[in-house]
Amino acid sequence: MKRGLFVALLLCAVAGFAQDAELPFDERGKFIYYEVVAQKDVPAAMLMERATKFFSSSKELKLKTVPQDTLWMARGKVVINKTAFVLSRPSGEVGYHLYLDFKEGKYRFWLTDFSFISYQRDRYGNFVPETTVGIPLENKPGKLNAGEWTAYSKATAREARLFAARFKKGMSEQAINPPTAKAVPSVDTKNQKW
């Protein structure tokens, strides 16, 4: 009994540690979150329609590509919070690019080109970006800020996984009221008056 409990706790600890890992690198040396999702018997046009619905309801993404293409690109950002004891405050934002590719019965998406912009307080006490130019998340800072930068990259990985879960859920949902063909009213030509 004790042995089984120990193995279960060990697996939970390993799973918890895996959730806190950084994102892998792609061939360009950039962080990437990449996933291919198969949805059998769903045409590409339906997948594009679901993606359009997801983009129209999302406040964090802006579509930058013509929706008639099969490869879409969008820009988004996520705010990274810093928590000390019970208090939480935004420490910066991470901008990213989202790419979508549609095929018959499947789609793939990847998040890449992560860049960090730190926040500072303005004279009114609001947190605002310090600059408009982001620092690529792959750039390793010096020893002084290494721990904080690692925390930013782990928080970005966590947010990318949460976004992927939301996106896959949005792409798997059927339309609540699917469009139906409207009945064309028939014209009675026999009883028409001139």
pLDDT digits (tens, 9 = 90+) for 109-134: 999 999 999 899 899 988 988 888 88
Alpha-carbon torsion (130, 133, 139, 141), positive or negative: negative
CATH number among 1.10.357.10, 3.40.50.300, 3.30.530.80, 3.40.50.2000, domain 20-171: 3.30.530.80
Q: What is the pLDDT of residue 12?
A: 43
What is the SS3 assignment for 146? helix
Which tens digit of pLDDT belongs to each residue from 35-84?
A: 999 988 888 888 888 888 888 888 888 888 766 677 889 999 988 888 77
**pLDDT given at position 110:** 93
In sequence order, the 6+-apart residues with CB closer than 8 A to the CB of 40 are 105
> How is the chain split into domains, by residue range?
20-171
Token digits of residue 28: 């360009």
87: enclosing H helix or E strand: strand 87-103
**Is the pLDDT reported for residue 172 higher than 70?**
yes
* Element holding 120 (H helix, E strand): strand 106-121
